[in-house]
Amino acid sequence: MDLLTLISLIVATFIYAISPGPGLFAVLAIATRFGPVPAIWLSLGHTIGDIIYVALAMLALSALAELINNSMLYVKILGASYLIFIGYQQYRSRGVSFEQSSKRSSFFMLFVAGFIVGVTNPKTIIFYLSFLPVFIDLNDLSFRTEVQVLVAIGATVFFVLSLANILGIRLRKHIEDPNNIKRINQVTGITMILVGVFVGLY
């Protein structure tokens, strides 16, 4: 893959990733409420979900991708339930300071939640299956090209989610007044609940 094509692929992925969606809103909510480290774990999970779809698209396994979507019904339900549970906890939190979680289990669950948000988003597989052939020939792929595409898209998606993380951190610095904590808990809680509902319905 030549440099111009790779840059074009990165730009297209950036435009797609920065469009408002459940992943972006989830990272923003987690960064605002819990800080940057938990949001990074969520972002990593989401990015890996996207990379899986890119790999499937490059292998032209649209039928397999459809099979995976159908078989993930229970995973979607569990994932959506967990996201709604996180939102409910945040919504009901009162007078709690903005402290980062140090529990490894919490980080792992956020990673899983991010993965579910990424891998169950129906527009993701449609997007990659439709736009990748514009940049690469899916019937004549070299290992080097596959690695270039996976790294470029993975890094771009993670970069965009990191921007949402940074925005959440900046918001957090301006709203640490205890009088505003309850309101922020409600806003971020509702956001996570809506993300969970989106994952469950789609």
- CA 156 vs. chain centroid, Å, equals 12
Q: Could you tell me if 50 and 117 are in contact, meaning their C-beta atoms sit under 8 angstroms apart?
A: no
Q: Look at residue 97 and give its three-state secondary structure.
A: coil
User: Residue for token digits 């959440």?
Assistant: 168
DSSP annotation string for 113-164:
HHHHHHHT-HHHHHHHHHHHHHHS-TTS--HHHHHHHHHHHHHHHHHHHHHH
Q: Could you tell me if 24 and 161 are in contact, meaning their C-beta atoms sit under 8 angstroms apart?
A: yes
Per-residue pLDDT tens digits of the chain, which is 202 residues long: 788 888 888 888 887 788 767 788 888 888 887 888 889 999 999 999 889 888 877 776 545 555 555 555 666 676 677 668 767 776 776 544 445 544 555 788 889 888 888 877 766 766 776 677 767 776 667 888 889 999 999 999 999 999 989 988 887 766 656 556 677 667 767 877 876 777 667 6
